[in-house]
Amino acid sequence: MKRLVLFVVALIFAFCTTVMAADKPAAVGTAAPAKAADTKKVKKDKKAAKKVKKAEKAAEAPAAPAK
């Protein structure tokens, strides 16, 4: 009987450690898409800032006289 209890406890321990090890990559996997979305937003903001700078620069430059 003691051997059976010891075997059951060892079996439960083995399954629990397997489950805990499997949970960690899943948690990391869900964070990756959020980070990718943030980088896309940053890139989009940088692109918009470049367009604004370009528009300001074009507005500052005097118009070329027509020939």
Domain region containing 25 = 1-53
Is 27 inside a domain boundary?
yes
pLDDT digits (tens, 9 = 90+) for 1-40: 999 999 999 999 999 888 887 766 555 555 556 677 778 8
Assigned domain for 62 exists: no
Confidence of residue 54 (pLDDT cuts 50, 70, 90): confident
Domain assignment of residue 22, yes or no: yes
The residue with greater pLDDT, 61 or 49, is: 49
| Domain assignment present for 34 | yes
44 pLDDT more than 90: no
Q: How far apart are the first and last CA of the chain?
A: 105
pTM tops 0.95, yes or no: no
- Give the chain's domain count: 1
Express each pLDDT in 27-38 by its tens digit. Answer: 555 555 667 777
In a domain, 64, yes or no: no
